[in-house]
Chains A and B, each alone.
Chain A
């Protein structure tokens, strides 16, 4: 990686500076330059940097590949501008390499001979290389979210004037990195949520004073990495969401029936906010209140493979939590068997796998639940959900406990295959699968396995 970037930066120098001509005049000289030890090239770098303004890192369709030197040398911005399409090609090649590797893995595992043993060792080596390669390519595609959020403080200042409310935006974790394609898409949803907080969230100065809050409202935008996810939280210390009001509005509009309302908890009411054309705002303002928005935000975020939830406390404030996957294309998954079909469950959503005896199943409102670590969690029979013929009844169920945010559920599966690195492929637009599946993957033997979307199961 290091060497490639060196080559690029030398070749990219089209107009050699006088100091530089001696070495880069002829093609041979360039080659010579490449073969030099890295340190030497770095030494020359300041000359280059001084002569040529550093390219802006946020050019459209370009991904900056930043290489920070670990040594004590002064940090010079040494980056290469690469077309995102070239990176996509690279990523696809890595995906195919991993599929091919999975093929070799499955062949080598079926062999029992002694020769197969050494093949297996080499395959393991290959496996670690492809994993590292994938990680490196992914890192090249990563961009700090700073490039998106840096425009928000100004937007909030403008809003503050327009809405005649005093407010301040506090941001943290701008250095958190996300895949370039996610970065391109996440700007609008974030902006929408911030505008929401500024307009609906924060109260007017008088009400704030009454409630003993500081006159200046605060909005926080925190980004951080959490395992295989990047979490972006938008929090305000405003009014919070009035769940009673949401309920009233939903009944008024016929979004839900009174019977449904009786069975819904606070969380379910909050989910209504993400329904299309739902707004609790009494008046439409220039900033918001039209009822288009949060549903678009949700669709967009789910399209990126993430999810959004909202937490709120009346008069204290509300928090929107956006969770985005670090990588879009390749994930670790648990392969399971249901009937005679294979399915993949993303590993990052799995908490544990338990053996549950049928006798331990309890019923709440006619639904099966189990108690797990002092929590009561619903049991989902995947074979029912996926219309798979159930195998004969067994005494002990294999239950995969999944978790997303605060929500947990136990998925009943027939058999476990094991952990595997899989490449996510889309199912296309034509198939309607009620969002149960987030895609498909090709297994080592060329068979197709479907990937369960845990979000819809919970």
Chain B
């Protein structure tokens, strides 16, 4: 999270949204900032038995119990060791519920407008594409915008 890049002015009329850019492996994923409640460092996670495989457990965040999901596991990628860059992004799903997701690193906050976003071409071969809502272009890099609803609502 360095500086916020706000490119207002001429694009005022367009729908502008801010995203937190996170890294998983070499890829960049964006999370709409309106869902993000907090970003915390890795801490001790209490395992919850019989939970879905991609949930690592729960943490105590200032007296609140928050389930923690590994985005790598959810995206069917291999898990890596946690580093000093590993972060947990706390996402507020509704008034009472929060979920934390583990990402490899958090790099910055970007502002994207409609012009720089497009629908991803649906390719059934990769299961993680179902969790991507949009593809954003920012300074020559691609950011996959995560559909928050799809990664937390799914019950299996």
Contact = CB atoms under 8 A, between A and B. Distances in A.
Contact of B65 (A385, A386, A388, A442): A442
Interface in B98-156: 98-99, 152, 155-156
Which of B44, B48, B64, B69 has the most A CB atoms < 10 Å from its CB? B48
B19 interface: no
Interface string B45-57: 0111111100100
A431 B46 contact: no
Interface residues of B, number: 25
Contacts of A450: 46, 48-49, 58
B18 to A, nearest CB: 25
A448 B62 CA distance: 12
B47 A341 contact: yes
Interface string A411-439: 00000000000000111111111101101
Contacts of B55: 430-431
Contacts of B98: 428
A439 B155 CA distance: 19
A431 B51 contact: yes
Interface in A431-458: 431-434, 436-437, 439-440, 442, 446-450
B65 A427 contact: yes
A96 interface: yes
A449 B47 CA distance: 9
B59 interface: yes
Contact of B64 (A341, A425, A446): A425
Interface in A317-371: 341
A434 B50 contact: yes
Interface of A: 96, 99, 341, 385-388, 425-434, 436-437, 439-440, 442, 446-450
15 contacts: A99-B63, A427-B65, A429-B97, A430-B69, A430-B152, A431-B48, A431-B55, A431-B67, A432-B52, A433-B51, A439-B65, A440-B65, A448-B65, A450-B46, A450-B49
Interface of B: 44, 46-52, 55, 58-60, 63-67, 69, 93, 97-99, 152, 155-156
